[in-house]
């Protein structure tokens, strides 16, 4: 039968210890309410002795959230434990999480304690914590760099004093997966009373192994994983909540574990934590990154269109994310391009598709991601012949380092020459403003790109502009060996396309 794995969320404690993160009480409460909806088993709400704000956060979260266990951190010293106990007084299910280091490096340099003294402190701390609650978690900090027999002695003392959970932190993210698994095996084989407590794992990600180590540890008998949303935490952070939850779910048949997590809340939780902590995530961050359900390469898009499982092992909808997306860009193929333009309602002949596809590749090369509006502009541009309503007759610019750019432009409109002059921020801007005076069209420039399409001093410049006018978005292009002329031509080309829309309305 599948075994339940508890998820202990430390976003508000270890996560909040990450450099630059400062959550106030209201923000912590907001995250705790979201963790409640996510259905985590334990919310570590703070380290009450460390600050007034941490103390108050634990108080407020304890008052508000009654369905989860609420944990507070305390060093193995009386004042910390009493403060944690006080902060948790309103909690329906309080957890005191007390810790002391077990590695010689920490004991000697940081705590200045002998091993025997540390064991006494650990035992006393657990006993004292038991006065406040029957759910006490004991952590042997830096467990993975500790002498194993000493570690087991320390855990035995904690069990005898009444601990319900023993945490095995890989505090500095140093352990290798097999090594960590062997440590769990060793603790299970050599700690008296271990069968009566839950083994918890708390892995830091300094070597990028936090998730792998945590998963291997539960395969070796641990029953609880400590996680943080988006993996935030000290230095490189903790095992990422969303990754652990999705490994356990996606590979449940092989792993035979389950959690109570409400997977559909994952994306919302990730977004909230990003927003409140200011820690964004990389676009390729597993599970919650912007592009992890987006496919741009032609071969992948082709596979996805035939069957989603060709390139996806999870459904974005399952974590409350947007459906998979085929992003159109320079790596995209014809299959995805045609599918998208059909979805946008265009019915094109083979020749038109060919022309539009060429235009698409051309723009994608310069612009990267091509939006639906860009696609509409490309199609309008490539397949519709347009009448030259506004025709360039001449232009002149005055430009220099110490004078304001001025442009004079003459445009033929319905056989009449209309002229205008304008200042601008550079010669192109001045020319566009002069043209605006003539046409009177309300259009805003949303994109301008220029490229040399041949080599040498007399290279031809190709300019593309995208203009928005009300609901209409059009692309215009123009070429010339003179970049100002190419710019003016592309601008007029786009304006002529807007006129085409106006006339057909």
* Binding site residues, Zn ion, CB under 5 A: 14
99 binds ligand KIV (CB under 6 A): yes
> 215, 255 in Cβ contact below 8 A?
yes
Nearer to Zn ion, 31 or 438 (CB): 31
Position among 68, 145, 153, 202 found at the interface with ligand KIV (CB under 6 A): 202
Residues 6+ apart with CB under 8 A from 329: 296, 364, 368, 369, 370
Residue 50 C-beta: closest distance to ligand KIV, Å: 11
Residue 170 C-beta: closest distance to Zn ion, Å: 9
Q: Which two tokens stand for residue 238?
A: 């903790």
Position among 169, 298, 424, 478 found at the interface with ligand KIV (CB under 6 A): 169
> 375, 328 in Cβ contact below 8 A?
yes
Residue 13 C-beta: closest distance to ligand KIV, Å: 8
Q: Which two tokens stand for residue 211?
A: 């998730």
Cβ–Cβ contacts within 10 Å for residue 136, how many? 28
Nearer to Zn ion, 171 or 462 (CB): 171
Phi and psi dihedrals of 12, rounded to 5? -80, -10
DSSP at 226: E
102 binds ligand KIV (CB under 6 A): no
Residues 355 and 373: their CA atoms lie apart, in Å, by 17
> 218, 201 in Cβ contact below 8 A?
yes
Cβ–Cβ contacts within 10 Å for residue 369, how many? 13
- Residue 29 C-alpha from the chain's centroid: 21
For tokens 């230095």, name the residue. Answer: 235
Q: Please list the residues that pair with 224 across neighbouring strands.
A: 6, 200
Nearer to Zn ion, 99 or 360 (CB): 99
- Contact mark string toward ligand KIV, 229..258, x via CB under 6 A: ------------------------------
Identify what 477 binds: Zn ion, ligand KIV, none; CB under 5 to 8 Å per kind: none
Position among 103, 171, 224, 301 found at the interface with ligand KIV (CB under 6 A): 171
Identify what 497 binds: Zn ion, ligand KIV, none; CB under 5 to 8 Å per kind: none
Residue 16 C-beta: closest distance to ligand KIV, Å: 11
158 binds ligand KIV (CB under 6 A): no
Identify what 141 binds: Zn ion, ligand KIV, none; CB under 5 to 8 Å per kind: ligand KIV
Nearer to Zn ion, 180 or 395 (CB): 180
Residues 411 and 405: their CA atoms lie apart, in Å, by 19
Diameter over CA atoms, the chain: 100
Residues 305 and 69: their CA atoms lie apart, in Å, by 45
Nearer to Zn ion, 14 or 142 (CB): 14
139 binds ligand KIV (CB under 6 A): yes
DSSP at 283: T
Identify what 139 binds: ligand KIV, Zn ion, none; CB under 5 to 8 Å per kind: ligand KIV
Residues 70 and 58: their CA atoms lie apart, in Å, by 8
Identify what 163 binds: Zn ion, ligand KIV, none; CB under 5 to 8 Å per kind: none
Identify what 493 binds: ligand KIV, Zn ion, none; CB under 5 to 8 Å per kind: none
394: alpha, beta or left? (left if phi > 0; alpha if psi -120 to 50):
beta
201 binds ligand KIV (CB under 6 A): no
Total residues in contact with ligand KIV, by rule CB under 6 A: 9
Residue 231 C-beta: closest distance to ligand KIV, Å: 13
Residue 169 C-beta: closest distance to ligand KIV, Å: 3
Contact set with ligand KIV (CB under 6 A): 14, 99, 139, 141, 167, 169, 171, 202, 204
């Amino acid at each position: 039968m599948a075994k339940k794995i508890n998820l202990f969320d430390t976003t508000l404690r270890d996560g909040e210890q990450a450099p630059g993160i400062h959550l106030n009480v209201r923000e912590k409460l907001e995250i705790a309410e979201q963790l409640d909806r996510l259905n985590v088993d334990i919310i570590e709400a703070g380290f009450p002795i460390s600050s007034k704000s941490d103390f108050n956060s634990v108080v407020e979260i304890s008052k508000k959230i009654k369905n989860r266990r609420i944990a507070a951190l305390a060093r193995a010293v009386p004042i910390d434990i009493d403060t944690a106990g006080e902060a948790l007084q309103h909690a329906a299910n309080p957890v005191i999480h007390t810790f002391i280091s077990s590695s010689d490096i920490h004991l000697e340099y940081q705590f200045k304690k002998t091993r025997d003294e540390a064991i006494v402190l650990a035992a006393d701390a657990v006993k004292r914590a038991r006065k406040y609650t029957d759910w006490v978690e004991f952590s042997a900090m830096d467990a993975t760099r500790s002498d194993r027999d000493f570690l087991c002695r320390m855990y035995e003392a904690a069990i005898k004093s009444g601990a319900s959970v023993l945490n095995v932190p890989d505090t500095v993210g140093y352990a290798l997966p097999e090594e960590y698994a062997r440590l769990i095996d060793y603790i299970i084989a050599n700690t008296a009373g271990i069968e009566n407590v839950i083994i918890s794992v708390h892995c830091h990600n300094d070597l990028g192994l936090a998730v792998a180590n945590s998963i291997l540890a539960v395969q070796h008998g641990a029953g609880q994983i400590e996680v943080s949303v988006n993996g935030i935490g000290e230095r490189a952070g903790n095992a990422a909540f969303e990754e652990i939850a999705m490994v356990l779910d996606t590979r449940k048949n092989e792993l035979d574990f389950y959690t109570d997590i409400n997977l559909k809340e994952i994306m919302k939780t990730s977004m909230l934590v990003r927003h409140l902590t200011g820690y964004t995530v990389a676009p390729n961050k597993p599970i919650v990154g912007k592009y992890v359900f987006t496919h741009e390469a032609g071969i992948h898009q082709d596979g996805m269109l035939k069957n989603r499982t060709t390139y996806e092992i999870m459904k974005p909808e399952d974590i409350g994310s947007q459906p998979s997306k085929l992003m159109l860009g320079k790596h995209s193929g014809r299959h995805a391009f045609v599918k998208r333009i059909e979805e946008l309602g265009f019915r094109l002949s083979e020749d038109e598709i060919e022309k539009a596809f060429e235009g698409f590749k051309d723009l994608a090369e310069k612009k990267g991601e091509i939006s639906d509006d860009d696609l509409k502009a490309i199609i309008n541009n490539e397949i519709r012949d347009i009448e030259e309503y506004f025709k360039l007759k001449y232009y002149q610019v005055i430009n220099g380092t110490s004078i304001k750019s001025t442009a004079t432009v003459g445009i033929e409109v319905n056989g009449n020459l209309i002229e205008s002059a304008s200042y601008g921020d550079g010669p192109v801007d001045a020319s566009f403003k002069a043209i605006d005076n003539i046409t009177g069209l309300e259009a805003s420039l949303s994109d301008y790109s220029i490229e040399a399409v041949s080599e040498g001093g007399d290279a031809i410049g190709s300019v593309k502009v995208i203009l928005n006018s009300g609901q209409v978005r059009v692309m215009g292009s123009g070429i010339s060996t003179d970049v100002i002329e190419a710019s003016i031509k592309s601008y007029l080309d786009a304006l002529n396309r807007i006129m085409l829309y106006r006339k057909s309305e």
